[in-house]
Amino acid sequence: MHIAIIGNGIAGITAARYLRKLSSGCHISVISSETRHFYSRTALMYLYMGHLTYENLKPYEDRFWQKNRITLLHDHVNQIDFTQQCLHCSSGKVVYYDKLLLATGSKSNTLNCPGHNLQGVQGLYSLQDVQLMQQHTQGITHAVVAGGGLIGIEVAEMLRSKGIGVTFLVRENSYWNSILPPEESDMLNRHIRAHGVNLLLDTQIQAILPDEHGRVRAVMTTTGAEIACRFVAVTIGVQPNVDFLRQTGLEIDRGILVNQYLQTNLPNVFAAGDCAQLRQPLPGRKAIEQVWYTGRMQGITAALNLLNRETAYQPRIWFNSAKFFDLEYQTYGNVPPAPLPGQTQLYWQHPDGQKCLRLVYQTQTGALQGVNALGIRLRHDVAEKWLAQQTPAETVLTQFSTAIFDPEFTQPIEQALLNQYHLQNPGKQLRAVHKRSLWHTIFG
């Protein structure tokens, strides 16, 4: 049996690896026009910043693929004949398959304004985008980043690492406030500005202005300001990379529609990762989840189902992490921007304004529903276990030291959380259950 996989991102490569783990007999081909080998997309920023080389981005040595009998084809699939079960590539090669996994990933959203196609205007998603960014930012002094998501803050950090001035345009009235509660969002506003970025809220690009050579020279904003720049990073999100599949028999909405087994409407065709859209997502989850760990989990699930081991996609507790310059962020479970009916939120912020924690729990039962951490690193297994077991918030508070990754901060943070809880609940008094700290374990 020949299983073809289009896309060598985390979903496609995870599927290929697990197919080989589970079956020694199937023929596996991975086709990608982006790169010859799988690389860590989340580390692209460090390639630009000079912290890593391209070879450092590859989790597996080149001999890994031949050793595991996974054929890598550096080619572009232009057309799929789902009836004849074959792939037509730009090289002229035709690849026949018995089963197909579509793992085509995402592509950057683009602006719809005058000048959007000028030289020096681009998104950031692929290795080629980073290489183009290196060319476009050579020798420049100022750039504009348009879009207030996670990619935007990464690009701002990349540019500042080269000494390039950055104006960061965010259409919302506070950075990422569609995701973060007001206190966390405000902390990031301050942090971004503290790192030399000119953060302009309630502001978008109205037009991009050219110079005499067809390169960007400035942007005009919706507030009427003209900002001189030689580079514009468009970081207004991504969308499933499925346009070449829309005129086929494949059912597509925003992404490729799949059931709980990641099957499409066509026989022997599956989809996973950023390009897949679940027809019936689980309660509290989105139909398209474009993060690394869900791509990996869908890759594993796809491998099982490609081998007829019927397995429903069951994502674990929602988790995401990011880094805002030197400020780490983790979120677990459901932390909405504003409290929902029946929810209570406990928020604590360190006096230095660089660390905070938020616990979300059911008001009636006390069951923990979500955790936000900024500037404090938590142990993933502990936080996930609390949420999976619906541990009462009062129990979590008395045991919070077990979740803090940095032991030198354990007791001050835990006690501060308890103090905040006592302020919100004057009639209750909780006491921390301390375990031996790492300091005492080492030094006695």
Dihedral angle at the C-alpha atoms of 322, 323, 327, 330, nearest 10 degrees? 10
The residue-averaged pLDDT of 323-349 equals 95
**Residue reference for tokens 């959380």:** 417
The yes-or-no verdict on residue 104 having pLDDT over 90 is yes
The residue-averaged pLDDT of 189-204 equals 98
Distance in angstroms between the alpha carbons of the first and the last residue of the chain: 61
User: 290 with 392, same domain?
Assistant: no
Q: What is the mean pLDDT of the chain?
A: 94
Q: Is the pTM of this model over 0.95?
A: no
Instruction: Output the pLDDT for position 409.
Output: 54
Encode 178-196: b = buried (16+ Cβ within 10 Å), e = exposed: ebbbebbbbbbbebbeebe
In a domain, 131, yes or no: yes
3-state secondary structure of 66: helix
Q: Say if CB 160 and CB 196 are below 8 A apart.
A: yes
Number of structural domains, the chain?
A: 3
Q: Which two tokens stand for residue 29?
A: 């081909």
| Range of lowest pLDDT (88-97, 157-166, 184-193, 392-401) | 392-401
Sheet with 368-374: strands ordered across: 319-324, 327-333, 368-374, 356-362, 343-349
**CA angle (308 as vertex; 103, 102 as ends), nearest 5:** 10
Q: Could you give the CA distance from residue 161 to residue 154 in angstroms, rounded to a whole number? A: 11
Q: Say if CB 207 and CB 114 are below 8 A apart.
A: yes
Q: Which two tokens stand for residue 151?
A: 């990619």
The yes-or-no verdict on residue 442 having pLDDT over 80 is no
Q: Say if CB 171 and CB 177 are below 8 A apart.
A: no
User: 288 with 350, same domain?
Assistant: no
β-pair type (368-374, 327-333): antiparallel
pLDDT confidence band for 69 (50 / 70 / 90)? very high
Q: Which helix (H) or strand (E) holds 101?
A: strand 99-102
User: 245 with 356, same domain?
Assistant: no
User: 230 with 129, same domain?
Assistant: yes
In a domain, 397, yes or no: yes
| Range of lowest pLDDT (111-115, 364-368, 414-418) | 414-418
Q: Could you give the CA distance from residue 142 to residue 137 in angstroms, rounded to a whole number? A: 9
3-state secondary structure of 254: coil
User: 157 with 196, same domain?
Assistant: yes
How long, in residues, is the chain?
444
The residue-averaged pLDDT of 99-107 equals 97
CATH number of the domain enclosing 93: 3.50.50.60
User: 80 with 156, same domain?
Assistant: no
In a domain, 63, yes or no: yes
In a domain, 312, yes or no: no
The residue-averaged pLDDT of 69-79 equals 97
Q: What would the pLDDT profile of 232-249 be if each residue is shown by its tens digit?
A: 999 999 999 999 999 999
Q: Which two tokens stand for residue 387?
A: 């949420």
For every residue of 394-437, DSSP letters joined together read: HHHHHTGGGGBSSGGGHHHHHHHHHHHHHHH-TT----------
Dihedral angle at the C-alpha atoms of 136, 137, 143, 149, nearest 10 degrees? 80
Instruction: Output the pLDDT for position 345.
Output: 96
The yes-or-no verdict on residue 265 having pLDDT over 90 is yes
- Its sign, for the CA torsion 386, 391, 392, 398, is negative
**CA angle (374 as vertex; 156, 325 as ends), nearest 5:** 20
The residue-averaged pLDDT of 127-151 equals 96
User: 129 with 221, same domain?
Assistant: yes
CATH number of the domain enclosing 375: 3.30.390.30
Instruction: Output the pLDDT for position 308.
Output: 97
Among 199, 215, 236, the domain boundary falls at 236
Q: What would the pLDDT profile of 207-225 be if each residue is shown by its tens digit?
A: 999 999 999 999 999 999 9
The yes-or-no verdict on residue 437 having pLDDT over 70 is no
The yes-or-no verdict on residue 441 having pLDDT over 60 is no
Q: Could you give the CA distance from residue 325 to residue 192 in angstroms, rounded to a whole number? A: 8
3-state secondary structure of 327: strand
Q: What would the pLDDT profile of 382-433 be if each residue is shown by its tens digit?
A: 999 999 999 999 999 999 989 988 765 556 788 889 999 999 998 888 887 7
Contacts of 70 (CB under 8 A, 6+ apart): 16, 17, 20, 28, 29, 30
Among 264, 281, 306, the domain boundary falls at 306
Among 265, 280, 306, the domain boundary falls at 306
Q: Which helix (H) or strand (E) holds 340?
A: none
User: 331 with 360, same domain?
Assistant: yes
Q: How many CB atoms lie within 10 A of CB 9?
A: 27
Q: Could you give the CA distance from residue 169 to residue 167 in angstroms, rounded to a whole number? A: 6
Range of the domain at 199: 121-236
User: 178 with 283, same domain?
Assistant: no
The yes-or-no verdict on residue 434 having pLDDT over 90 is no
3-state secondary structure of 288: coil
The yes-or-no verdict on residue 295 having pLDDT over 60 is yes
User: 101 with 246, same domain?
Assistant: yes
